[in-house]
Structure 1
Amino acid sequence: MTATLSSRKKARPASDTRAELIRIGSDIIAHKGFNSTGINVVLKEAGVPKGSFYYYFSSKEDFGLAVIDDFAAEYDAQLDLTLGNPDLLPLERIRRYLRTAIDDMEACDNSRGCLVGNLGQELAGQNESFRLRIDAIFSSWQARVTRCLVEAQEQGYVDPAADPAALAQLLQMGWQGATLRAKVSKSVEPMQRFKRMYFEQILGVKN
């Protein structure tokens, strides 16, 4: 059976439909978690027929990995404006990155946090594919911070005896914890406190 002209006009390109499923899925997963998100809910919200899901994704796991990759790509673009901004001094890039995260948390009323971090807590112990993908993303983000700290060290802003990679890992681990605490307490104060302590007590510079 062929589609009528009118139905063709209404139909979305496959790439648009896939992107819309990922967008809606990301929003629902951010609020409910992956395990509690039903595919039927995503399809209904997107207005996509139930049988169409497996045209775009081979499984719910495949869908979840696509959601993670989409979030990571979007987040990388944001990091280009902060950690990758050559017009800012290296430590100011890190400050800008943390301030942006705090602003984003306030904008969502402390309800979402980092999607990759949330899914890491939920799924890393359950699914090896998710664990490996999330670990690779965290490593990529950590490498960006490391490059900033290496540059800051070369410019004399960071102790020459310090290990930039270890400092970057500490920032990432502490920031994930501060973000989780902000969600639980419904306040960005834990994030602000960690930011201040990291610069003043770990790096030894003014926040």
Structure 2
Amino acid sequence: MQLDMSKKRRGRPPKSGRDTTNTKTELISSGVEHFTQFGFASSGLDQILKKVSVPKGSFYHYFANKEVFGLAVIDYYNNYFSRKLDSHLKNDQLAPEQRLLSFVEDAKAGIERYNFNRGCLVGNLEQEIAVLPDSHREKLIMVMQSWQNKISDHLNVLCPDAEQEERHSLAEFFWIGWEGAVSRCKLVQTTQPIDLFINHYLLLLKK
């Protein structure tokens, strides 16, 4: 879903002197922080706005409602995560398996940095899909498919003898296992579930 920026937006414009682009980005960044820790349904706009000192009227200058805001947050997170994934998987200074492990170690460090309070935004939203707008479901499916494609492309290098259909299945399996492992890390307060998952995944690739 795209906002028609040519239409007049309701709500108070931001106070003069504040960069409107930065304000919108700050709002979305605050949304990522709250959604990854508390989820979409449990994150009130007041909490999100207080974090960046933006009045509610100005929020509606940028976003028609919380649903549209949620879509913008998902897009923002997807862009960030996709760049991170590419930075590891396309690093030709490392062997193919080490590229995947480099991504894993980076993710583990991020989870530990936030004391296991935050996980993957997409994984978190998947867990509350029953209460999310249909537009969020559609967006999450598209995002997950794009991530699967990145892993599938990497498996071309990591498992060159695998058939295309098998690579697609292994890529889908990676994210199913990954999201479960990240969620379990939050529960047990250790990254051991990720280690367990990736070790067995790599063993599977070698069979």
TM-score clears 0.5? yes
Residue 189 of structure 2 is matched in structure 1 by 186
SS at match of 1:163: helix
User: Which residue pairs with 2:157 in the alignment?
Assistant: 151
- CA separation of 1:56 and 1:36: change in aligned 2, threshold 3 A: same
User: Which residue identity does 1:203 align to in structure 2?
Assistant: L
Match of 2:12 in 1: none
1:128 aligns with 2:134: yes
Amino acid at match of 2:34: I
Q: CA deviation at 1:161?
A: 9.4
**Which amino acid is 1:100 matched to?**
D
- For the pair 1:166 / 2:169, whether they are aligned, the reply is yes
1:139-197 alpha-carbon deviations (Å, 9 max, x no partner): 1111111111112233xxx6569811111111111111111111111111111111111
Structure 1 residue identity aligned to 2:192: E
Task: Give the number of the structure whose alpha-carbon radius of gyration is greater.
Answer: 1
Separation (CA, whole Å) in 1 of partners of 2:44 and 2:67: 12
How large is the Cα RMSD of the aligned pairs?
2.0
Query: Shift in Å at residue 17 of structure 1?
Result: 0.7
> 1:153·1:160 contact (CA, 8 Å) conserved in 2?
no
Q: Measure how far apart 1:43 and its partner are.
A: 1.8
Secondary structure at the aligned position of 2:89 is classed as coil
Structure 2 equivalent of residue 100 of structure 1 = 106
Structure-1 separation of matches of 2:206 and 2:130? 34
SS at match of 1:142: helix
Task: Indicate conservation of the 8 Å contact 1:93/1:148, yes or no.
Answer: no
Is the counterpart of residue 88 in structure 1 residue 94 in structure 2?
Answer: yes
1:204 paired with 2:190, answer no
Contact 1:102 1:192 (8 Å CA) reproduced: no
CA displacement, residues 103-142 of structure 1 (integer Å, 9 cap, x when unaligned): 2112222221101110121135642110110111111111
TM-score (norm 2): 0.86
Alignment identity in percent?
35
Counterpart contact for 1:91–1:149, Cα < 8 Å: no
Change (3 A) 1:87 1:184: same
* Maintained 8 Å contact 1:71/1:115: yes
Q: Which runs of 5+ in 2 are unaligned?
A: 1-14
- Runs of 4+ aligned structure 1 residues displaced above 6 Å come to none
Bigger RCO (CA 8 Å, 6+ sep)? 2
| TM-score between both structures, scaled by the size of structure 1 | 0.86
